[in-house]
């Protein structure tokens, strides 16, 4: 059965590319265009991995990750963010993300990191 | 008569309302079409990037012939390519750039540069900068454009596309740089350009005053201590603006001999330069040096006298702390 990935991202281009690439890699991809929709989907459905931006409308990426850690601590999270500041990255790891990818990103690298994260968990 | 005016007013209002509704409908239709085009080109780019079975060259040729028929579609395609280029790196970024050429959008951009209105030219220059289209000879004439926005984009192009010599376009400059342009270049050097920062002393003898001043300022901003010796003779430059900027830079670079040199030339200097000298001596010199300046202040130089008093006070405070 295909593994399910939730992508929470508000940039339509990135959403489309991730959806396209990850679907071709054999995953079942669900998209949420803001944090609120992400939370709603997490409560309704089960996923094997979450890929999220940090700056999201309504509910921020950090809030979303904190919610995941409280309610589903085993669910791996990869952050895809434009921020390359050390402070932001450290903060993200402190609240429990499994990997951090900065934009601009390489889709092939992201694909490998998704595979690795899913293998570990 | 009143009835006639009422009728005219009614008809005019009606026509105006209809015109607004039609414009709105036209805009909505255009926006919907844009959205569809964006999705179509987005899907095509994704296929090119991630579908390994996709014959990119053949498909690009087909897409160009069948889909890229209007200028609106070409413009949307360029915008989508720019968005992909901005968000992706590695092989995908290279592929996006390749696609730009395969779809012959470079030719479309060159056409805009040759014929279109200034705001479209400015946009075309931006596209060439972002996608690193190497056509410096084509862009160089825009450095002399009378329109600030176009000039700025031409400058950005040279900064963005250069790997080792970002300010080479200074050679072609014949019009003084505005303060905004100088700030823009500085910001681009700090945040956009990724190569080695050039030695700014090569432009200290440039025919344009703004370029000379910019070079002196950049020596200061990028802490080029190796240029101290080259800057010293400029303390005697014929232009007071150059002398003032040189003092500022040498002060920031902590040139120790600066206070004693400035003490000797204080008396013959212009007001603005004198003010800068006081700043420099306050930073690098001693209280006694500042006090020495007192005797060289003329009766009517109230601004300088006040500045000197303030500087003495600050230095006294610093030495007692």
Pull the structure tokens for residue B273. 């330069």
For range B272-279, the mean pLDDT? 93
Residue A88: burial class (beta carbons within 10 Å; 0-12, 13-18, 19+)? middle
| CB within 8 Å: B90 and A106 | yes
Given an 8 Å threshold on Cβ–Cβ distance, is A107 in contact with B92? yes
- How much is the pLDDT for B163? 84
Measured in angstroms, the CA of A57 and the nearest CA of chain B are apart by: 19
Per-residue pLDDT tens for B59-85?
A: 999 999 999 989 999 999 999 999 999
**In what order do the strands lie in the sheet containing A99-102?**
A28-32, A4-8, A49-52, A77-81, A99-102
Distance from CA of A6 to the nearest CA of B (A): 19
Q: Are B265 and B280 in contact (CB under 8 A)?
A: no
Contact A13 B92 (CB under 8 A): no
Q: Which residues contact B82 (CB under 8 A, 6 or more apart)?
A: B127, B130, B131
Q: How many domains does chain A have?
A: 1
Mean pLDDT of B103-123: 93
Average pLDDT over residues B176-181: 90
Residue B212 pLDDT greater than 90, yes or no = yes
SS (H, E, C) B50-113: HCCCCCHHHHHHHHHHHCCCCHHHHHHHHHHHHHHHHHECCHHHHHHHHHHHHCCHHHHHHHHH
Chain A residues closer than 8 Å to B94 by CB: none
Q: To the nearest whole number, what is the mean pLDDT of chain A?
A: 92
Q: Within chain B, what is the greatest distance between any pair of CA atoms?
A: 91
pLDDT band at B40 (very low <50, low <70, confident <90, very high): very high
- CATH code at A81? 3.40.50.2300
B321 pLDDT exceeds 70? no
Question: Could you count the other beta carbons within 10 Å of the beta carbon of residue B6?
Answer: 10
Distance of CA B29 to the CA centre of its chain: 36
User: What would the mean pLDDT of B197-202 be, rounded to a whole number?
Assistant: 94
What is the radius of gyration, based on Cα positions, of chain B?
Answer: 29
What is the DSSP annotation of B215-267? HHHHHHHTT-GGGHHHHGGGGG-SSHHHHHHHHHHHHHTT-TTHHHHHHHHST
First to last CA, chain B: 89
Contacts 24+ apart (CB under 8 A), B118-124: B118/B145, B118/B147, B118/B149, B118/B150, B119/B149, B121/B150, B121/B153, B122/B147, B122/B149, B122/B150, B122/B152, B122/B153
> What chain B residue is nearest to A109 in terms of C-alpha separation?
B90
Across residues A11-19, what is the average pLDDT?
92
Q: What pLDDT score was predicted for residue B85?
A: 94
The pLDDT score that the predictor gives to residue B201 is: 95
Mark which residues 65-104 of B lie under 8 Å from A by CB.
Answer: 80, 83-84, 86-93
Residue B244's pLDDT is what? 96
Q: How far apart are CA B106 and CA B127, in angstroms?
A: 9
pLDDT band at residue B192, thresholds of 50, 70 and 90? confident
pLDDT of residue A32: 95
State mean pLDDT over B47-53: 89
Q: Residue A52: which pLDDT band, with cuts at 50, 70 and 90?
A: very high
Question: What's the confidence (pLDDT) of residue B292?
Answer: 86
Domain that holds residue A26: 4-120
Is the pLDDT at B320 greater than 80? The verdict is no
pLDDT above 80 (res B247): yes
Distance from CA of B47 to the nearest CA of A (A): 8
β-pair partners for A8? A32, A52
Percentage of residues of chain B with pLDDT beyond 90:
67
CB spacing of A11 vs B87 below 8 angstroms? yes
Q: Do A104 and B88 touch (CB under 8 A)?
A: yes
Q: How many CA atoms lie within 13 A of B101 on its CB side?
A: 8
Whether the complex's predicted ipTM is more than 0.90 is answered with no
Q: What is the 3-state secondary structure (H, E, C) of B170-229?
A: HHHCCCCCCHHHHHHHHHHHHHCCCCCCCCHHHHCCCCCHHHHHHHHHHHHHCCCHHHHH
pTM of the predicted model as reported, rounded to 2 decimal places: 0.79
For the cut 80, the answer to whether the pLDDT of residue B1 exceeds it is no
Asked whether the predicted pLDDT for residue B135 surpasses 70, the reply is yes
Measured between CB atoms, does B35 come within 8 Å of chain A? Answer: no
Percentage of chain B with pLDDT > 70? 99
Q: Is the pLDDT of residue B118 over 90?
A: yes
Reported confidence tier of residue A47, pLDDT bands at 50, 70, 90: very high
pLDDT of residue B174: 86
B102-109, Cβ contacts within 8 angstroms, sequence gap of 24 or more: B102/B56, B102/B57, B102/B60, B102/B61, B102/B64, B103/B60, B103/B63, B103/B64, B103/B68, B103/B77, B104/B64, B105/B68, B105/B74, B105/B77, B105/B78, B105/B81, B106/B133, B108/B71, B108/B74, B108/B78, B109/B78, B109/B133
Residue A35 near residue A61 (C-beta atoms within 8 A): yes
Contact A17 B46 (CB under 8 A): yes
Average pLDDT of chain B to the nearest whole number: 91
- The reply to whether B261 touches chain A by the CB within 8 Å rule is no
Q: State the CB neighbour count (10 A cutoff) for residue B24.
A: 10
Which chain B residues have a beta carbon less than 8 Å from that of A24? 50-51
Q: Name chain B contacts of A17, Cβ cutoff 8 Å.
A: 46, 49-50, 84, 87-88
Q: Looking at CA atoms only, how far is residue B64 from chain A in angstroms?
A: 21
pLDDT of residue A111: 94
Min Cα–Cα distance to chain B from A20, Å: 7
């Amino acid at each position: 059965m295909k593994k399910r990935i939730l992508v929470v991202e508000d940039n339509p281009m990135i959403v489309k590319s991730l959806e396209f690439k990850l679907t071709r890699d054999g995953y079942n991809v669900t998209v949420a265009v803001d944090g609120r929709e992400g939370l709603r989907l997490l409560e309704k459905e089960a996923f094997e991995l979450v890929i999220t931006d940090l700056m999201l409308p309504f509910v921020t990426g950090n809030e979303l990750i904190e919610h995941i850690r409280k309610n589903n601590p085993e669910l791996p999270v990869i952050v895809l963010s434009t921020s390359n500041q050390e402070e932001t990255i450290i903060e993200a790891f402190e609240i429990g993300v499994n990997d951090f990818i900065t934009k601009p990103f390489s889709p092939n690298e992201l694909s490998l990191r998704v595979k690795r994260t899913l293998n570990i968990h | 008569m009143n009835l006639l005016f009422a009728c005219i007013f009614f008809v005019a209002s009606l026509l105006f309302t209809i015109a607004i509704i039609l414009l709105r409908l036209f805009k909505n239709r255009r926006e919907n079409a844009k959205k569809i085009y964006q999705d179509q080109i987005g899907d095509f780019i994704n296929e090119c990037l991630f579908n390994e079975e996709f014959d990119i060259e053949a498909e690009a040729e087909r897409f160009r012939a069948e889909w890229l028929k209007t200028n609106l579609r070409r413009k949307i395609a360029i915008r989508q390519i720019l968005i992909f280029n901005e968000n992706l790196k590695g092989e995908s970024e290279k592929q996006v750039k390749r696609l730009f050429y395969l779809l012959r959008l470079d030719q479309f951009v060159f056409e805009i540069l040759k014929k279109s209105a200034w705001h479209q030219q400015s946009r075309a220059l931006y596209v060439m900068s972002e996608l690193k289209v190497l056509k410096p000879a084509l862009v160089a004439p825009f450095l002399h454009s009378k329109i600030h926005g176009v000039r700025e984009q031409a400058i950005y192009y040279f900064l963005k596309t250069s790997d080792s010599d970002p300010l080479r376009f200074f050679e072609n400059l014949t019009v003084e740089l505005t303060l905004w342009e100088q700030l823009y270049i500085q910001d681009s050097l700090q945040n956009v350009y990724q190569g080695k920062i050039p030695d700014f002393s090569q432009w200290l003898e440039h025919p344009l005053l703004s370029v000379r001043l910019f070079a002196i300022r950049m020596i200061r901003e990028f802490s080029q201590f190796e240029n101290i010796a080259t800057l010293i003779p400029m303390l005697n430059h014929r232009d007071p603006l150059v002398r003032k900027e040189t003092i500022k830079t040498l002060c920031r670079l902590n040139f120790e001999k600066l206070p004693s040199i400035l003490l000797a030339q204080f008396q013959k200097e212009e007001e603005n330069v004198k003010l800068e000298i006081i700043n420099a001596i306050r930073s690098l010199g001693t209280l006694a040096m500042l006090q020495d300046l007192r005797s060289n202040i003329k009766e009517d130089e109230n601004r300088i006298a006040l500045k000197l008093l303030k500087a003495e006070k600050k230095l006294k405070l610093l030495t007692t702390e």
